[in-house]
Structure 1
Amino acid sequence: MRTSASVAVGTPWSNAIDVHHHIVPEFYVEELRRLGFASTLPGVDKPAWKIETSLDMMDRQGIRAAVVNIWPGVPAVDADTGAHLARWINEFMAELVSRHPGRLGAFAVLPLPHVDAALAELEYCQDVLGLDGVGLITNYNGVYLGDPSLDEFLAEAARRRVPMFVHPTVPPSTGQPAFGLPASLCEFPFETVRLTAQLLYNRTLERHPGLRLILSHGGGGMAYFAGRLALGPLIVSDLAERLPEDPIGYLQRLYSDTAMIGDPHAFASVRSFARPDRILVGSDFPFMPESFSAENGRFIVEHGAFSPDELTRIQLGNAAELFPRFADHSESERGSLT
């Protein structure tokens, strides 16, 4: 059995919890094809995956545990089809977690934007399967997460204080130039900014104060655009009624992960904006190769100017507070540092 004790010297992290870790089981790929959808997203290579590759990567990178997700989850189908696929995926993940105690947690998928079906699956995943949170995408067939039509779902997720990992997907608009490039290359950071703007001006966190949202890829472009997003009332005066009193502080309540921000330019913006108690480790494996995620993590550790306590929070403590499954490990780690 693999354990974090097998981590080699010089790995980027130490006893970290990876909250941005994809799994790509073959049954999911085949079912998407059967339903007429691409195996992931058009223009995104489907990586080869099996659980052993994830565990081996974790050992080499100093990652104690990963909270895995299946992205992009349930495609745009009817409520019954979506509920069936979500249940199939979630029971698979629960079994996977049970076979690897201490190493894995999992984000459930939900058949959104079908609110009633999503609420039923949320209850099952939390109360029966014991999954660790929910994996979401920025928009469901054009319905973004901060949309009032999803308020009943958001209210229940807030009441339960369920951690929700939000990954971008392609925007619903059509016809914009792509230059022969995959949508994920440019559109994914913009997608997270779109969602951030909606959350801000809909005052979603005020209406649902228990929400615990994790925005992937360092929050996309949120750190860079946060100040600009707060300027809405200077452009349209009526927006002053919709803007929270402290818009920057409002956005700093959101969590983000370290995936794809380990370079001098992106990281400078995230480091100046994000509070250390809201940053989580993310590898984006296997969509990002292991060599890339290792360099990404190493840059953050070596150039982040975090104190030892802050780095421990980023690697372990923040995630342990969100995911009780790993709380005991956090306490033992804290004791070893005193």
Structure 2
Amino acid sequence: MICDVHAHYTPRNFSEFMGDRFASPVHLPVKRGMARHPFSDSAEDIEGRFRLMDEAGVGKQVLSPNHPPYLPDEAECVTAVKMLNDAYADFASRHPARISSYVMLPLPHIDAALKEMERGFDELGCVGVNMNITCLGRSIAETEFEPIYAEMNKRGAVLFVHPSGSGICSPFIVDYNYRASVGTSLEDATFVLHMIAKQIPHRYPNIKFIVPHLGGPIPMLLNRLDKQGQNQSGHPNLAEAPSVTAKKFYYDTVCYGSKAAFICALEAFGADHLVTGSDYPVLQDYEAYKETFAYIERLGLPKSDTDKILHHNAQALFGFEH
């Protein structure tokens, strides 16, 4: 059974509620291309989702929104997040063998987020937490988010992070229209770098982090980070080498079929730390859902590595049967 750790789902009532509340066109729940694919909670879309899962050999998807509703108004934010979490829990309860979900948090409202995390795990049956890499322009490595990490650490939670489409808040990315094609991978890398700088994985060792898109350029930077990232112009007081921290994370396999990117990540992190993901349905604009996983079987890896990546790692991480 393949477990897809990176799959999106947008209930229609959530789309209607959010309307133009999202900060950027990148964040709209149904973008132009994705509207062609099974994405919403309509009966037709759910049937289409399961059909594609069957064709791809995917036994389960762990759901998250393509962009959570981080809103400055706390009441609106809580309403939107509960709408999502309730819809996801309902979907999972009707199809427990095929669907699980992460709990979304009403950030940046920390007390409300802690309450919703408790509800998600203890009442709704969520299997992990989903956070965006930035929240209203702030890195989720900032000090104000520490209570969230403390609670996840207490629970031994899985945390799946996702790019926000911010282009790392850089005009060099945004103004040149690389926010989606390149900016997302740079966000992934920035998250890992911020975690290293703030030593969050070292201080909260029970959290199991999943970073999307093979960590972006992180696999190529480990040696350089170890050599330059700990000197006096970098972070000389780290408790461990940056590569040690980076290798504690899990990385999903979304890479648009790039063998070079996959092999780089495999050599950097090891087969034990790669988990299957698809970015469903975004990637379907570029490749068939089943191809997102089938290409891994054609890479010529040792069979034991292929089996770990496709059929063991994600399942073991969440405690699913495999």
Question: 2:134 aligned with 1:147, yes or no?
Answer: no
**In 2, Cα distance between equivalents of 1:152 and 1:74:** 20
**In 2, Cα distance between equivalents of 1:121 and 1:230:** 38
| Aligned residues between the structures | 311
**In 1, Cα distance between equivalents of 2:34 and 2:186:** 24
Give secondary structure in 2 for the equivalent of 1:156. Answer: helix
Give secondary structure in 2 for the equivalent of 1:303. Answer: coil
**In 2, Cα distance between equivalents of 1:304 and 1:40:** 36
C-alpha change, 1:201 and 1:231, in structure 2 (3 Å) is farther
- C-alpha deviations, 1:11-58, integer Å up to 9, x for none? xxxx20110111122222222215365575279535132222221111
Aligned to 2:18: 32
C-alpha change, 1:287 and 1:36, in structure 2 (3 Å) is closer
Please, which runs of 5 or more residues in structure 1 have no aligned partner? 1-14, 331-338
**In 2, Cα distance between equivalents of 1:26 and 1:166:** 23
Aligned to 2:32: 45
C-alpha change, 1:52 and 1:84, in structure 2 (3 Å) is same
Question: 2:182 aligned with 1:186, yes or no?
Answer: yes
**In 1, Cα distance between equivalents of 2:176 and 2:168:** 18
- Tell me which amino acid in the other structure corresponds to 1:47: M
Higher mean C-alpha deviation, range 152-161 or range 257-266: 257-266
- Residue 296 of structure 1 deviates from its aligned partner by 3.6
What are the residue-to-residue correspondences of 1:157-236 with 2, within 5 Å? 157-169=152-164, 170-171=166-167, 173=169, 175-176=171-172, 178=174, 181-233=177-229, 236=232
Higher mean C-alpha deviation, range 211-220 or range 285-294: 285-294
Aligned to 1:84: 79
- Check the 8 A contact 2:255/2:262 in 1, yes or no: no
C-alpha change, 1:251 and 1:261, in structure 2 (3 Å) is farther
**In 2, Cα distance between equivalents of 1:240 and 1:91:** 45
- Tell me which amino acid in the other structure corresponds to 2:68: G
Aligned to 1:132: 127
**In 2, Cα distance between equivalents of 1:46 and 1:35:** 20
Match of 1:116 among 98, 105, 111: 111
- Residue 283 of structure 1 deviates from its aligned partner by 1.2
- Residue 208 of structure 1 deviates from its aligned partner by 0.7
- Check the 8 A contact 1:197/1:229 in 2, yes or no: no
Aligned to 1:273: 268
Higher mean C-alpha deviation, range 65-74 or range 229-238: 229-238
- Check the 8 A contact 2:56/2:291 in 1, yes or no: no
Give secondary structure in 2 for the equivalent of 1:256. Answer: strand
Could you tell me the TM-score, scaled by structure 2's length? 0.88
- Check the 8 A contact 1:193/1:225 in 2, yes or no: no
C-alpha change, 1:318 and 1:276, in structure 2 (3 Å) is same
**In 1, Cα distance between equivalents of 2:132 and 2:22:** 19
Higher mean C-alpha deviation, range 59-68 or range 264-273: 264-273
- Check the 8 A contact 2:156/2:207 in 1, yes or no: yes
Please, which runs of 5 or more residues in structure 2 have no aligned partner? 40-44
C-alpha change, 1:181 and 1:44, in structure 2 (3 Å) is farther
**In 2, Cα distance between equivalents of 1:273 and 1:285:** 25
- Check the 8 A contact 1:17/1:65 in 2, yes or no: yes
Aligned to 1:288: 283
- Check the 8 A contact 1:167/1:216 in 2, yes or no: yes
C-alpha change, 1:22 and 1:39, in structure 2 (3 Å) is farther
- Residue 220 of structure 1 deviates from its aligned partner by 1.9
Match of 1:312 among 299, 302, 307: 307
**In 2, Cα distance between equivalents of 1:304 and 1:224:** 21
**In 2, Cα distance between equivalents of 1:100 and 1:158:** 29
- Residue 193 of structure 1 deviates from its aligned partner by 1.2
- Residue 203 of structure 1 deviates from its aligned partner by 0.9
Question: 2:255 aligned with 1:260, yes or no?
Answer: yes
Give secondary structure in 2 for the equivalent of 1:65. Answer: strand
Aligned to 1:23: 9
C-alpha change, 1:231 and 1:45, in structure 2 (3 Å) is farther
C-alpha change, 1:45 and 1:180, in structure 2 (3 Å) is farther
- C-alpha deviations, 1:154-182, integer Å up to 9, x for none? 01011101111111121463533546525
Identity of aligned residues (%): 25
**In 2, Cα distance between equivalents of 1:177 and 1:280:** 28
Question: 2:60 aligned with 1:60, yes or no?
Answer: no
**In 2, Cα distance between equivalents of 1:196 and 1:180:** 24
- Residue 280 of structure 1 deviates from its aligned partner by 0.8
Question: 2:299 aligned with 1:303, yes or no?
Answer: yes
C-alpha change, 1:91 and 1:268, in structure 2 (3 Å) is same
Could you tell me the TM-score, scaled by structure 1's length? 0.85
Give secondary structure in 1 for the equivalent of 2:172. Answer: coil
C-alpha change, 1:226 and 1:86, in structure 2 (3 Å) is same
